[in-house]
Amino acid sequence: MKLIHSSTIHPSVKEILSYATSESTIDREYEKYIFDTNRHLYSWEVNGEAIGCLGIEFSNEDDCLIKHIAVSPAARGNGVGRNMIDFILKEYSLEMITAETDRDAVEFYRSYGFKVTSLGEKYPGVERFLCELKLQMS
């Protein structure tokens, strides 16, 4: 995985990020990754082509929130999302990773080991979920 820190978003990363946020907010979200030192955006590449991205935000040095995680449709089901989270766990000494998601991604987080709690209907007709992964400290 490689850290993305460029003033312009690569078209393939922009396309992948569009699967995790609305088209209208991609540029604004990307700017936050550029200017907020607590945010980091990574891309997962195969043969030089971005097939996944993972954006995190640190609330402190021990805890991070997954802001965005997305995999291109052609690469889904091949462990890319799991590999991206594994990378973050190796890269940082974390006590907790959290994410907020919709019903479509709940099983992904649950299968990884996250505890999933319903937040109810946070938006009209949309149930949201809090996913928490507490990590063992050595």
On the CB side of 74, CA atoms within 13 Å amount to: 6
Q: Residue 19 has which token pair? A: 């699967």
Classify residue 95 by its DSSP letter. Answer: S
Show pLDDT as tens, one digit a residue, over the chain (138 residues).
777 767 777 788 888 988 888 888 898 998 899 899 999 999 999 888 889 999 999 999 899 999 999 999 999 999 999 999 999 999 999 999 999 999 989 999 999 999 999 998 888 888 999 999 999 765
Tokens 């799991």: give the residue: 82
Give Cβ neighbours of residue 104 (< 8 Å, ≥ 6 apart).
none
Structural domains in the chain, CATH included, are 2-134 (3.40.630.30)
pLDDT of the residue at 126 = 86
CA gap 8, 24 in Å, rounded:
16
Which conformational region is residue 120 in: left (phi greater than 0), alpha (psi within -120 to 50 degrees), or beta?
A: left
CA–CA distance, 39 with 59 (Å, rounded to integer):
9
What is the rounded CA–CA span in Å between residue 30 and residue 136?
32
